[in-house]
Every structure is written in structure tokens, then in C-alpha cells.
Amino acid sequence: MEAFLISTGIVALAEMGDKTQLLALVLAARFKRPWPIVWGILAATLLNHALAGLAGAWIMAAAGPDVMRWVLGVSFIAMALWMLVPDKLDDDDAVPQRRMGVFFITTWAFFLAEMGDKTQIATVALGAQYEPLIAVVAGTTFGMMLANAPVVFFGDKLTRRVPIKLVHGVAALIFAVLGVLTLLGVGKSFIG
């Protein structure tokens, strides 16, 4: 349960103001069909985060707990710093113009936008740190849905009321604390 709850919280906070959240807003404004967008976000996130979690578990097995403690500790601290940099929806991340359905456009756009994103990198680190992997993937996916589904349904009204700088600050603090705790080897769930 710890892996699920920590994964959910970290990703939900990290996703606030993220480019994929901005993408959800763009898709909702463009298509005005919330359910296919939400299902597309879910499908893309499940696939992307399952692959990221598997990569994290594989890296953990290959590197071993001693090396991974340092790699993860530094990675979490780097994520804390990265959280303080606001995301923008780049022109490269624009919604595809192909003649696909809303579900497939959303799935494709979200899967690509999530590549190398903060939440994907966090999922790799969480997959290396926590077991069972299914709890990590379920948690990170739930965190993505908590952050993105309301944007699809309530859009601009919601994003104007959430203090993104505060959310990013809290997320950065959580990542920094996890990084320091990991480096110190605190807690059974931290590396091994």
C-alpha cells in the first residue's frame, strides 16, 4: 500500500502544471468530448508507466542496491530541482492533425508527451525503489488521472484556481526529502 500511496502522491503533485496536463486542457478545448480523452489518457499512462516501472525494476536488478541507493537519492534530488522549472506545451507537442478518433489521438499524444517527462522519470525511480511493481504503476497512473481528469472536465476554471507554484514547491520538497532519506538509507522500503 505504501508504494501505491507514495507513487500516487508524487505523480499527482508532479503533474500539476506539467506539459501533459496542458495537453489535456488543449484536447478538452479542441474536441469537447471528455470521456474519450480521459480513456485515452488512462491507456497512454498505463502503457507508458508500465514500461517506465519495468525499466526501473530492471535497472535496480542490474545495478544492485548499493549503487541504486546513490543513483536514486541523487535522482530524487534532481527531480526536486526539476519540479521548480515550469513546463510549457511546445510546438512539437501539438495535437496530431491525423484523421483518428479522439481516443486514439489522445492516447498517441499523451504517450509521446510523457516520454522523458518528469512523471515518467519519477515512475522509473519509483519502480526501482518499491515493490510490487503493479502498486507503483497503479499509483502513478492514479496520480496522473487525479491531476488530468478534472482538467478535461473543468478545464480552465480549475487551472486558474490552483496555485501551481505552491504545488511545484510542495512536490519539490517531497522529492528532496525522498532523495535525502534514500541517500541516508532510511526505511525498509528504500532500496532493498
pLDDT at 26: 83
36 pLDDT higher than 80 = yes
35 pLDDT higher than 60 = yes
Give CA–CA dist 103/175, Å, rounded.
32
More confident residue, 50 or 16: 50
pLDDT at 188: 46
Residue-range domain boundaries for the chain: 2-94+102-184
146 pLDDT higher than 60 = yes
- CA torsion sign for 155, 161, 162, 164 is positive
pLDDT at 178: 81
| Angle of the 2-15 helix axis to the 164-184 helix axis, nearest 10 | 140
pLDDT at 190: 43
160 pLDDT higher than 70 = no
Average pLDDT of the chain, as a whole number: 85
- CA torsion sign for 14, 16, 22, 25 is positive
What is the per-residue pLDDT across 60-111, written as a single tens digit (0 to 9) for each?
A: 899 888 887 888 788 888 878 887 876 665 544 455 555 679 999 999 999 9
191 pLDDT higher than 60 = no
What is the per-residue pLDDT across 163-187, written as a single tens digit (0 to 9) for each?
A: 767 777 887 888 788 889 888 887 5
| Per-residue confidence band for 159, with pLDDT thresholds at 50, 70 and 90 | low
Percentage of the chain modeled with pLDDT above 70: 86
Give CA–CA dist 168/103, Å, rounded.
29
Whether 38 and 152 have beta carbons less than 8 Å apart is answered as yes
pTM of the entire predicted model? 0.78
150 pLDDT higher than 70 = yes
pLDDT at 93: 46
Q: Which set of grid coordinates corresponds to residue 75?
A: 535522482
Q: What is the DSSP letter of 190?
A: S
What is the per-residue pLDDT across 110-121, written as a single tens digit (0 to 9) for each?
A: 999 899 888 999
- Contacts for 153-158: CB closer than 8 Å, 24+ residues apart: 153/28, 153/34, 153/38, 155/25, 155/28, 155/29, 156/25, 156/29
Q: Which secondary structure element, helix H or strand E, spans residue 104, and what is its range?
A: helix 102-114
